[in-house]
Each structure stands twice: as C-alpha cells, then as structure tokens.
Amino acid sequence: MTQVAIHKDFLKAIYNIPRSQQKKVMEFTEKFRRDPTQASINYEPIHDMKDSKVRTVRIGLDYRAIIIHPQKGDVYLLVWVDHHDEAMRWAKNKVFEINENTGAIQVLDIEYINERKVKDVGENQDNGYYLFDKYSDKQLKKIGVPALLFPSIRNLKTEHEIDEISKHLPEEAYEGLLSLAAGFSFDQTMQELEYAFDSHLIDTDDFEKALEHPDTKRRFATLSSTEELMDILDAPLEKWRVFLHPSQKKLVTGEYKGSTRVLGGAGTGKTVVAMHRAKFLAEKMCNNSSDKILFLTFTSNLAKVIDNHLDSIVKGETRNNIEVTTVHSWSKRLLNRYRIYFNTVNEDNIEMAWREAYTSEELGFDLSFYKEEWEEVVQQHGINNVNDYLRIPRVGRGTRVSRLQRSQIWKVLEHYRNYLDQHQIKEWIDVVRDARKVIEQTNSIFPYKAIIVDEAQDLHQEDYKLMRMIVPEGDNDLFIVGDAHQRIYKNKVVLSHCGINIRGIRSKKLRINYRTTEEIRRWAVSILNGEEFDDLDGELDNQNGYKSLLYGSVPEVRHFNSKEEELNFINDFINTAILEGVELSNICIVTRSKKLLQQVYEPMLKNDNIPFIYLNPNENAYGEGIRLGTIHRVKGLEFSHLIISSVNDGIVPPISILKRTNDEISKNNTLLREKSLLYVAATRARDYLLVTSYNKQSELLVNLKKII
Ligand SMILES: Nc1ncnc2c1ncn2[C@@H]1O[C@H](COP(=O)(O)OP(=O)(O)OP(=O)(O)O)[C@@H](O)[C@H]1O
C-alpha cells in the first residue's frame, strides 16, 4: 500500500511562504496525499543531489516541493517547499537515510558534515579533554548518532558546543548526547531514549517499516485522511498535535496496571500528554456515547483551555466521550443534582464568617492563627468535633498549644463552621467531601472509564479520595500529571494516602522543555534553588536532566528608582515588540495582584492606546489586545513576550500575606509558595522574559542575583 508522510519542517516551510501562495501548496499537498502516483504529479529527478532519492514537483510557476521516493517499497515523503532556487539549494546537500543502528529515518546535512571534517584536522591537534572520549563509537551509534557526524561529536568539549551543533543532529542523537554529557550513564541514557530495537533486524532500505519507528514519528507524520491533513495544515506551528516525543508517545499509549503518575518541569508537555492520553483512552475504552473519560484540572480557566485544545485533536463521537471540568464544578453539579443547593465561599462571605467567629476569641491569638488552624489542621483531617480536635497531632504547625487552649480554640472554629452552615455557605473542600458522602449513601455508579488529572500538584487529598470513588481500581484507571515545583495553592497530597497506589511502577518523567528557551528555563529554576519538592507521593522530586531545546536571550531583570521609570521601560519593551510584528495576544503583563494591573498597568496601556484584555477565570481570552493577568491566572498558559512587573519588596510576597502569620513554619511555606509563583510566572515566557521592579526589589530577586 502506498504510504505518504510529511516532515515537520515541511509545515515550517509552508508557514514561511507568502499567504497568497499557501493555498496552492495546500491543494497540492492534498492531491499528493490522496494519490502520490497519479499521472498529473510529475516527479522530476534532479542532478547534483547528494541523495538520489530526491525528486521535485512544480507547484505553480514559482514553487517546488521536495519529495523523497526510495526505490524499495511504495513510500513518498514530502519534506520541503520553497521558491524554485531556494528549494534546490535546500535539497542539494541533504541525505535521507535509515539509521543502521536504530532504524529511524534521519535527515543529514552533508555540507555541514564535510565542512566539519576539514576543520577537524586542525582542531584535533589539541589533546585536551573531549566530552565523549569515554564512549565507544558503538555506544554513540546506539544512541542514534550517525557515523558521518562522528568528526563533529568527537571534538566537543562542552555542553554548550553540543547546543551549537544541535540543529545538525537528529533529535534523538542530540538528547542522547546531552544525557551523557549531563552525567547519566550509557544505560540510563538508552532507557531515557526508550530504545528497544534489535539492530540485526534493521533493513536500511525498508522505509515503510522505518516510518513506524518512534524517532521517525518525531519528524514524519503519516497521513491517512484529508481531515488529518487539514488539521495539521490548519495550525502548522502547533507541532504538539502530531509530533510527539517518543517518551510522550509511550506514556500516551501505555498499558498500566492501575494508576500512573507522570512528573515533569514546566513546559515539558505534561498537558499535551494528558490530552493525547484522554483521546487514546476514549478511543480504546468508550464503547458508546454514554461512556466517558473524565479530564480533571484545578482551575476553571485551565479546564476551558484544555477543552478548546481537545477540540483540535479529537474529532467526532470520540470528542463527546471526553468530559473536561474541575473537581469543584463536578462535585457541585453532583450535589445540585441531588437538590443540595448552597453558596460557595468568596472573599466577602468568608471574611464576614471569620469576623463573627473571632468575637469568641479569648487567648490573644490573631485571626490568621485561627484561619491556618482551620485549614491546616481541621479541614486537612476532616475534623468535625472537639474530641477529634483535641486528639489530632498538629503536624506542620509552628505554634504550640496546650490541651486547654485547644478546647478554647475550638470554640472559635466551631463558631465559624456554624456561621457557614446557617448561611448555607460551603467551602470547596466541603463541597468535595459532601459529594463523596452522597456517592456513598446513594451507591452511585458513574459512566467514567478512567480519569486524567492535570496540574495534579494543586489538588487536595479530598479531591483524590473522591476520584477513587468515581473510578474504582483497575487497569489504566487514573493518569495523573503534575509538578510540585509549580504548587501555588496550599494543597499537598500523598497519593498512597488516598487509596491511589502508584508505587512499584517505574517513575515516569518528562524532561524536555518545549516552551521556554534554555536561558529562561535556567533562570526560572534558579528561583527554586535550595528548596525541596515532593513527587506527589511522599518522596522527593528533583529537576535533574531537564533541558530546553530552544535558545534565545537571557531574561532581562531590571530594577528602577521609580514606578514612572519602570512604566517607561515596559512601554518601550511593548512598543518594540509590536514594531517587530509580535501579535498583541502574545504579549502578557503579569503581576502578583489584579489591583496592580488595574491601577498601574491598565492606565499605562490606555494612555498609549494599546488595546488590552484581562485573563478571566471563566472564559478564554479572544481578540486583539495585550493580555493582563495575575500569576495565578497565567498558570498553564504561555506567551512569546512576558513581563512580570512590580516584583517589589512588599508585593512579592505581598506584605499582607507575610504579616498574616506569626507561625514560623507557616511563614516558610508562604515563602516557598511565592517562589513557586515566580517560577510559574517566569516559565510562561516562550522567547522573551522581562522582570521589573521599582523602589525596593523583592527579596526573591535580590537573593537570586547572588545565586546566578
Ligand atoms: N512533542 C512536542 N512537540 C512540539 N511542541 C510540544 C511538544 N510537547 C509539548 N509541546 C509544546 O510545549 C509547550 C508546553 O506544553 P504543555 O503545556 O503540555 O507543558 P506542561 O508540562 O503541561 O507545562 P506547565 O506545567 O508549565 O503548564 C506547549 O506549547 C506545547 O504545545
């Protein structure tokens, strides 16, 4: 059967040609996809090509598509399109080969390889230490380095030099080399690369088979339907929709006995994997329209974003099999279905409740003490009577209290609870708890075949206990992705305490950052230096081995003497970006509080006639305008240009929050959360990150300067 595939660079090439010409290229692509052997497609072999498999096809008068058609099998690969001369130049020195050690199709630039060979003669005089001296040719070949590239590789001395030649390396070879350079052993590196191929069985002429290889699939998409092609062509830059990394693909299509947890730093494609997994499970497990895969996340704006993205990767009936929501909305809906109606807490009603309750205070503790006691002891353990409160170990609390004091503290807490009950107000944690009670009482059975959880670090253990009830233990039951480094709410979970057993399964981690440049990633990670983070199951996680594949400018951290100077600088930054053609929706100003946006940055934009749009919790932001959002709001999103502004002392962390507590443990936890907030904010930037402050700089930035 004829096999047609397109290379991901072909999408880049389409995007680079003028819009007026794109239609013709797309029409050609569809014709080619339907039947590359049809008589109206005229393949012209060209002379002077390094690879005899290269053919070209005219598109209109000016454009040429580059196609690879190997002798054996019935395979056609569409790899590039450009103006006639440029297309020829591009193709002239490329070879398209099946790697004899891995079996993947690789694209090599012979011009570069020859250039290196000439240079190497001189460079090799130096007998200094080379990065890969201790690895044999055989080992390098096994990680996918083509033998032709050895002269380049053998001369590398630093990680930075690997980065410099990265665009000439097949992705798997690049990642393998980085892994070895980072100190991972050869075996660990092979494991990371997920290789399980027997080189004896590799036929370097069998392109049909090679198209099935996971590393081939990083760069070639096999096209089986017009819809599939149109989807790809519709959004050529959204490569994640088609070209998954083998480690991502393996997680998406894995068969797991029980629950799975996937960790990974910011931008490593956790949400992408979770969405593809939802699609995979819906296709596999849902037999009719009522069967569902439940996709849960923490905030409603993220649920909206995911809902939208899913529309672009899952079509037809299968899309209806995936329900995306938050644990809170799901629980509220369930209770409402049982005619249990209530208000949920908001800033106003909760303050009122606490003020009322605090009137019974007798011990001289401030209100923040009670609020924390409530959250971290009472709600954390689901305590609803004084006896349990007297007995519970107050782990994580820094202020010691006697038994007698406890019974007096309880009066305030009970008062608070009574106020909520009388006014039919529920905290979200109680909404979730009540949902569990209803399920227990009614023995409800749900249509959910599996649950996918994104932003898992921010969900409460009550949320997980609820999930355990919705989907009983079984194969592929829960697929949980998260990263404790990005925990910005107070919740902390140990999955095994919630009946979710992921132990014994090899840790699953995503390490390649697709979003930010390496420079931004490093800066962001340095914010968290010296802190410890958990793996959502009671053990420690780390950021070892993470890497961005993109490079760019170093984040700009600017401190100003006054607010006016800061505003002027930001204004210039935005106007320069606009002049460079950056879309307004790709620029975002982030602050610690919404008030700051409204009072400082909104007037600045109005003054300069720059349109802006606030990122809201309950809707996706559409339309022309710079985005304005708090750090909490930009979680899960990304922008090419990001400005984190007013990173001042007293604002990050907010003085009101620091003052709120006298408890040392609480203070440290608050500081940690603030660091994570800054980390989350910084990792939303794809290309440019500007961090500004005025008057006095936040201690988080001051400390950072010492670290880098
Ligand atoms: N295989 C891939 N190829 C190309 N781009 C990818 C791939 N996987 C993910 N991306 C892109 O990387 C970016 C980050 O992906 P995603 O949001 O899934 O990461 P994440 O780990 O959930 O991030 P965070 O935890 O920071 O919110 C997105 O722009 C996504 O489209």
- Assess whether the C-beta atom of 515 lies below 6 angstroms from ligand 1: yes
Give the least confident one: 91-100, 125-134, 202-211. Answer: 125-134
- Of all protein residues, the one whose alpha carbon is nearest to atom 3 of ligand 1 is 240
Give the pLDDT confidence score for residue 165 in this predicted structure.
Answer: 87
Position 672: which residue type? Answer: L
Give the pLDDT confidence score for residue 708 in this predicted structure.
Answer: 45
Q: How confident is the model at residue 424 (pLDDT cuts 50, 70, 90)?
A: very high
Helix (H/G/I), strand (E/B), else coil: 342: coil
The rounded mean pLDDT for the chain is 89
CATH topology of domain 244-337+449-541: Rossmann fold (3.40.50)
- Assess whether the C-beta atom of 298 lies below 6 angstroms from ligand 1: no
Q: What percent of the chain has pLDDT over 90?
A: 61
Give the pLDDT confidence score for residue 432 in this predicted structure.
Answer: 97
Q: How far is CA 82 from CA 21, 45, 58, 252, 358, in A?
A: 10, 17, 10, 34, 72
Mean pLDDT of 156-182: 88
- Assess whether the C-beta atom of 245 lies below 6 angstroms from ligand 1: yes
- Of all protein residues, the one whose alpha carbon is nearest to atom 16 of ligand 1 is 269
Give the pLDDT confidence score for residue 19 in this predicted structure.
Answer: 82
pTM recorded for the entire structure: 0.88
Whether residue 663 is predicted with pLDDT greater than 80 in this model: the reply is no
Looking at 265-371, which runs of residues are DSSP E strands?
292-297, 322-326, 343-344
Give the least confident one: 300-304, 312-316, 539-543. Answer: 539-543
Whether residue 535 is predicted with pLDDT greater than 60 in this model: the reply is yes
Q: Are 630 and 594 a contacting pair, CB within 8 Å?
A: yes
Give the pLDDT confidence score for residue 509 in this predicted structure.
Answer: 87
Give the pLDDT confidence score for residue 82 in this predicted structure.
Answer: 94
> How far does the centroid of ligand 1 lie from the alpha carbon of residue 514, in Å?
6
Q: How far is CA 657 from CA 6, 410, 650, in A?
A: 53, 24, 9
Mean pLDDT of 420-433: 96
- Assess whether the C-beta atom of 269 lies below 6 angstroms from ligand 1: yes
Whether residue 351 is predicted with pLDDT greater than 50 in this model: the reply is yes
Q: Are 427 and 243 a contacting pair, CB within 8 Å?
A: no
| Pocket residue to mutate for ligand 1, from 8, 172, 271, most atoms within 8 A of Cβ | 271
Q: How confident is the model at residue 228 (pLDDT cuts 50, 70, 90)?
A: confident
> How far does the centroid of ligand 1 lie from the alpha carbon of residue 512, in Å?
9
Q: Is 102 annotated as a binding residue?
A: no
Provide CATH code, domain 555-707: 3.40.50.300
Whether residue 707 is predicted with pLDDT greater than 70 in this model: the reply is no
Whether residue 25 is predicted with pLDDT greater than 80 in this model: the reply is yes
> How far does the centroid of ligand 1 lie from the alpha carbon of residue 453, in Å?
16
Q: How confident is the model at residue 128 (pLDDT cuts 50, 70, 90)?
A: low
Q: How confident is the model at residue 196 (pLDDT cuts 50, 70, 90)?
A: low
Per residue in 484-528, pLDDT (tens digit) is 999 998 888 899 999 998 865 555 889 889 999 999 999 999 999
Per residue in 597-647, pLDDT (tens digit) is 999 999 999 999 999 999 987 666 778 899 999 999 999 899 999 999 999
- Strand ranges of the sheet holding 556-560, from the earlier edge strand across to the other edge: 556-560, 685-694, 639-644, 587-591, 626-630, 612-614
| Pocket residue to mutate for ligand 1, from 268, 454, 678, most atoms within 8 A of Cβ | 268
Confirm whether the ipTM is greater than 0.90: yes
Ligand 1: atom nearest CA of 635 is 27
Would you state the torsion angle of the CA atoms of residues 674, 677, 678, 682, taken in this order, to the nearest 10 degrees? 170
Q: Is 144 annotated as a binding residue?
A: no
C-alpha–C-alpha distance, residues 639 and 633, integer Å? 13
> How far does the centroid of ligand 1 lie from the alpha carbon of residue 240, in Å?
7
Mean pLDDT of 169-197: 84
Ligand 1: atom nearest CA of 239 is 4
Whether residue 182 is predicted with pLDDT greater than 90 in this model: the reply is no
- Assess whether the C-beta atom of 693 lies below 6 angstroms from ligand 1: no
- Assess whether the C-beta atom of 523 lies below 6 angstroms from ligand 1: no
Give the pLDDT confidence score for residue 191 in this predicted structure.
Answer: 80
C-alpha–C-alpha distance, residues 624 and 611, integer Å? 7
- Of all protein residues, the one whose alpha carbon is nearest to atom 15 of ligand 1 is 269
Ligand 1: atom nearest CA of 272 is 18
Q: Is 398 annotated as a binding residue?
A: no
Ligand 1: atom nearest CA of 514 is 12
- Assess whether the C-beta atom of 297 lies below 6 angstroms from ligand 1: no
> If residue 264 lies in a helix (H) or strand (E), which one and from where to where?
strand 260-264
Mean pLDDT of 183-205: 79
- The domain ranges of the chain are 3-98+209-240, 105-196, 244-337+449-541, 346-426, 555-707
Whether residue 545 is predicted with pLDDT greater than 80 in this model: the reply is no
- Assess whether the C-beta atom of 533 lies below 6 angstroms from ligand 1: no
Q: How confident is the model at residue 419 (pLDDT cuts 50, 70, 90)?
A: very high
Per residue in 693-703, pLDDT (tens digit) is 999 999 999 87
Residues 6+ apart with CB under 8 A from 158: 131
Residues 6+ apart with CB under 8 A from 586: 639, 640, 641
Ligand 1: atom nearest CA of 264 is 21
Q: When comparing pLDDT for 368 and 690, which is higher? A: 690
- Assess whether the C-beta atom of 236 lies below 6 angstroms from ligand 1: no
Mean pLDDT of 547-564: 91
Determine what percent of the chain falls in helix, strand and coil, rounding each to the nearest 5: 45, 20, 35
Per residue in 365-417, pLDDT (tens digit) is 888 889 989 988 999 889 999 999 999 888 778 778 888 999 999 999 999 99
Give the pLDDT confidence score for residue 129 in this predicted structure.
Answer: 81
Q: Is 103 annotated as a binding residue?
A: no
Let me know if the fold of 3-98+209-240 is the same as that of 244-337+449-541: no
Give the pLDDT confidence score for residue 657 in this predicted structure.
Answer: 79
Q: Which CATH superfamily is domain 3-98+209-240 in?
A: RelE-like (3.30.2310.20)
- Assess whether the C-beta atom of 314 lies below 6 angstroms from ligand 1: no
Give the pLDDT confidence score for residue 492 in this predicted structure.
Answer: 84
Q: How confident is the model at residue 234 (pLDDT cuts 50, 70, 90)?
A: confident
Whether residue 122 is predicted with pLDDT greater than 60 in this model: the reply is no
Give me the residues paired with residue 548 across strands: 513
Q: 397 — phi, psi (to 5°)? A: -105, 135
| Pocket residue to mutate for ligand 1, from 239, 272, 453, most atoms within 8 A of Cβ | 272
- Of all protein residues, the one whose alpha carbon is nearest to atom 5 of ligand 1 is 240
Q: Is 265 annotated as a binding residue?
A: yes
Q: How far is CA 602 from CA 571, 598, 606, 628, 635, in A?
A: 12, 5, 6, 8, 21
- Of all protein residues, the one whose alpha carbon is nearest to atom 7 of ligand 1 is 240
Q: What is the DSSP letter of 568?
A: H
Q: What percent of the chain has pLDDT over 70?
A: 95
Smallest CA-to-CA distance from 103 within 231, 257, 215 is with: 215
Q: Is 268 annotated as a binding residue?
A: yes
Whether residue 439 is predicted with pLDDT greater than 60 in this model: the reply is yes
Whether residue 551 is predicted with pLDDT greater than 90 in this model: the reply is no
Q: Is 264 annotated as a binding residue?
A: yes
Q: How confident is the model at residue 163 (pLDDT cuts 50, 70, 90)?
A: confident
CA 31 to chain centre: 35
Give the pLDDT confidence score for residue 390 in this predicted structure.
Answer: 92
- Of all protein residues, the one whose alpha carbon is nearest to atom 23 of ligand 1 is 267
Q: Is 176 annotated as a binding residue?
A: no
Give the pLDDT confidence score for residue 75 in this predicted structure.
Answer: 95
Give the pLDDT confidence score for residue 550 in this predicted structure.
Answer: 83
Whether residue 336 is predicted with pLDDT greater than 50 in this model: the reply is yes
Q: Which residue has the tokens 């047609």?
A: 4
Q: How confident is the model at residue 544 (pLDDT cuts 50, 70, 90)?
A: confident
| Pocket residue to mutate for ligand 1, from 12, 172, 237, 240, most atoms within 8 A of Cβ | 240
